[in-house]
Amino acid sequence: MTGSPGSPGSPGPPARPASDDLVARVAEVLELIRPAVQEDGGDIELVQVTADGTVRIRFLGACVGCPSSEITLREGIARNLRERIPEITEVLAVN
């Protein structure tokens, strides 16, 4: 990731971390999704949750470089997080 921790590719102030409760809720949803990702030889890692509702994840294993990872991010991970946690505004994959 280039730039500051505030946003991918652009300079700016570092993002404020989310509350422990929000981080725990995001981690819980990711644990529900993880088995499906692992079934295809990949995995996901929670990198950061910010106070403004941005979630940053990292794809691992077979997900790295997989053309379907963008669909997994958008249709699986982001959709589930937004449905279950209304505070989530954006879900990004980072390197």
Query: Which CATH number do you get for residue 28?
Result: 3.30.300.130
Nearest by Cα to 34 from 45, 25, 23, 24: 45
Segment 38-62 shows an average pLDDT of: 95
- 2 vs 5, residue with greater confidence: 5
Is residue 32 situated within a structural domain? Answer: yes
Is residue 64 situated within a structural domain? Answer: yes
Q: Is the pLDDT of residue 22 over 70?
A: yes
In terms of residue numbers, what domain contains 39? 20-93
Tally of structural domains, the chain: 1
Is residue 62 situated within a structural domain? Answer: yes
pLDDT at 9: 47
Segment 75-94 shows an average pLDDT of: 96
Q: Which two tokens stand for residue 33?
A: 């999704």
Computed over every residue of the chain, the mean pLDDT equals 87
Q: Say how far apart CA 67 and CA 62 lie, in whole Å.
A: 10
Is residue 71 situated within a structural domain? Answer: yes
- 76 vs 2, residue with greater confidence: 76
Q: Which two tokens stand for residue 30?
A: 């990711």
Is residue 15 situated within a structural domain? Answer: no
Q: Is the pLDDT of residue 72 over 70?
A: yes
pTM of the entire structure? 0.80
Is residue 12 situated within a structural domain? Answer: no
pLDDT at 90: 96
